[in-house]
Amino acid sequence: MKDTRIVIVGGGPAGNSCATHAARLGAKVTMIETDVVGGAAHLWDCIPSKAMIATGGAMSFLRRSAGMGLESADPFVDVEALRTRLGGIEARLQGQMSDLLLSQGVEMVSGRGRIVDAHTVVADSAHGERVFEADYIVLSTGSRPRIPDWAQPDGERILTTRQSYPPSTIPTHVVVIGSGVTGVEFVHMFSSFGADVTLVVSRQQVLPQKDPEVAAALEADFLRRGVRLFKGARATGIERLDDGVIVLTDDGRSAKGSHALLAIGSVPNSESLGLDNVDIETCDGYITVDHNCRSNLAHIYAAGDLSGKLPLSSVGTMQGRKIAEHIMGVHDRPHRHIDYDKAASAIFTEPEIADVGLAEADAFAEGRKIRVTKVPFSVSAKALINDDTRGFVKIVSDPATGVVLGGSIVGRHAAELISILALAVNSGLHVDDITETLFVHPTLSEVLTEAAE
């Protein structure tokens, strides 16, 4: 595969991962990016949202510090300091990513990429047009927030997630529309900053895709904090007032707030990619791909959100790597295809929520025999030491073989702890493999050994 030329369009987690792996494997790689390397993940999505949530977490911790034997404090957000913090994190990550790509010999091109024919990609920029010939093309242009026709974000009072890092003033009362992962993370973020929050939930459960027990734990925490839930209501309009907004819902209710935040999903960045020039198949704008992330054209791949698979940075990164291995012919390992059903995911609320593999509710719906064991963090010495005993660990296993099929964790550090179960699920480990492992004491991970008993 000497001198294989790969052109990648889009430098988010999927594009970067593909570029670095392919370059390491000997390909000549060009990556075209309109904005900054790192992509939406670094600029708008994963990183700034988690950095703001970390600041909010520090505030909640300080408010609850009386339980740790400290004088309790009443912190407030310094918006400018927070903005500087977010900028610093982004600049550092972007610098690291650019250094890595350069050190691998990846050619980085600034511009908007589009396919003109099966083996030609053009990068348009203010300086003109550059043309690149490619043996393989990888499209990884990501997605952007969905804007409904009944709301026009103005960046002042009606916000998308991208206009919230941070808003110029911390809202006094934010109405969050959408109760999926992004919506509930923003509810948590703003409420920990001290804002009143109303959440418009189109179904009867927040996080409709999640295990009902897990969603109930989050709802209970939201209600404890005073978050108002508008359940079974779909937003149909937003009225802008001088000093706020009114969100209207299809059941005739309305929620007044200082700000409204739209968190109702995303749409793919595919319309200006020149897909029609080569007849690439799409579904709702997402590129249709096979288990190797290949489109209907054998030499054109799609990765990350654009592939319409799980919209997670971690998934895009893995897809990028698998594409590089597939193109370069080193695709013969046992883990050569991604099993999306075994991807771990987390929601960075308080308590945190994380899961992997088979969910209890899905197993019941399928009529599948499973063993479910659940242990609350209240039994853990470390949880007591942390003064935070909320949540539980739930493990789903095969009753006949003991193989770990899935699990959910609600509680502090759930997003870190789920990695143990993710390794078990992805490697076919048994519950005994967990109980026989000597974990550190006192740690929250000991609750996993108890749940595996």
Window 14-33: residues binding ligand FAD (CB under 6 A)? 14-15, 32-33
At position 406, the amino acid (one-letter code) is G
Please provide the DSSP assignment of 213-254 as one string: HHHHHHHHHHHHTT-EEEET--EEEEEEETTEEEEEETTS-E
Residue 415 or 423: the one with the smaller Cβ distance to ligand FAD is 415
For the record, the structure tokens of 291 come out as 């288990």
Pairwise CA distance, residues 133 & 3, whole Å: 12
Is 35 a residue that touches ligand FAD (CB under 6 A)?
yes
Is 60 a residue that touches ligand FAD (CB under 6 A)?
no
Window 99-118: residues binding ligand FAD (CB under 6 A)? 112-113
Is 10 a residue that touches ligand FAD (CB under 6 A)?
yes
Rounded to 10 degrees, the C-alpha dihedral 421/427/431/432 comes to: -130
Interface residue with ligand FAD among 56, 142, 183, 268 (CB under 6 A) is: 142
Pairwise CA distance, residues 7 & 394, whole Å: 44
Instruction: Specify which residues 249 forms β-bridges with.
Output: 235
- Asked whether 296 and 290 are in contact (CB, 8 A), the reply is no
Is 344 a residue that touches ligand FAD (CB under 6 A)?
no
Rounded to 10 degrees, the C-alpha dihedral 81/85/90/95 comes to: 110
Is 57 a residue that touches ligand FAD (CB under 6 A)?
no
Is 331 a residue that touches ligand FAD (CB under 6 A)?
no
Interface residue with ligand FAD among 305, 360, 388, 446 (CB under 6 A) is: 305
Interface residue with ligand FAD among 21, 27, 29, 39 (CB under 6 A) is: 39
Q: How far is the CB of 422 from ligand FAD (least distance, A)?
A: 13
Using the contact rule CB under 6 A, the part of the chain among 138-146, 233-241, 328-336, 358-366 near ligand FAD is: 138-146
Interface residue with ligand FAD among 65, 236, 314, 443 (CB under 6 A) is: 314
Interface residue with ligand FAD among 56, 316, 391, 407 (CB under 6 A) is: 316
Is 46 a residue that touches ligand FAD (CB under 6 A)?
yes
Residues 6+ apart with CB under 8 A from 173: 195, 196, 197, 198, 244, 256, 257, 258, 259
Instruction: Give the count of residues interacting with ligand FAD (CB under 6 A).
Output: 37
The pattern of x and - marking residues 144 through 163 that bind ligand FAD according to CB under 6 A reads -----------------x--
Q: Is the dihedral of CA 57, 60, 61, 62 positive or negative?
A: positive
Interface residue with ligand FAD among 313, 349, 445, 449 (CB under 6 A) is: 313
Parallel/antiparallel/unpaired status of strands 392-397 and 371-376: antiparallel
Residue 90 or 305: the one with the smaller Cβ distance to ligand FAD is 305
Helices 13-24 & 79-103, crossing angle to 10 degrees? Answer: 20
Interface residue with ligand FAD among 312, 410, 420, 421 (CB under 6 A) is: 312
Pairwise CA distance, residues 434 & 450, whole Å: 9
Chain centre distance of CA 54: 15
Task: Give the residue from 79, 239, 234 showing the smallest Cα distance to 158.
Answer: 239
Interface residue with ligand FAD among 55, 192, 269, 397 (CB under 6 A) is: 269
Task: Give the residue from 409, 421, 430, 420 showing the smallest Cα distance to 213.
Answer: 409
Q: How far is the CB of 154 from ligand FAD (least distance, A)?
A: 19
Pairwise CA distance, residues 448 & 437, whole Å: 10
Size (the chain), residues? 453
Residue 202 or 349: the one with the smaller Cβ distance to ligand FAD is 349
Residue 221 or 305: the one with the smaller Cβ distance to ligand FAD is 305
Interface residue with ligand FAD among 7, 18, 29, 41 (CB under 6 A) is: 41
Using the contact rule CB under 6 A, the part of the chain among 8-16, 86-94, 148-156, 191-199 near ligand FAD is: 8-16
Residues that bind ligand FAD (CB under 6 A): 9-15, 32-35, 39-41, 45-46, 49-50, 112-113, 140-143, 161, 182, 269, 272-273, 304-306, 311-314, 316
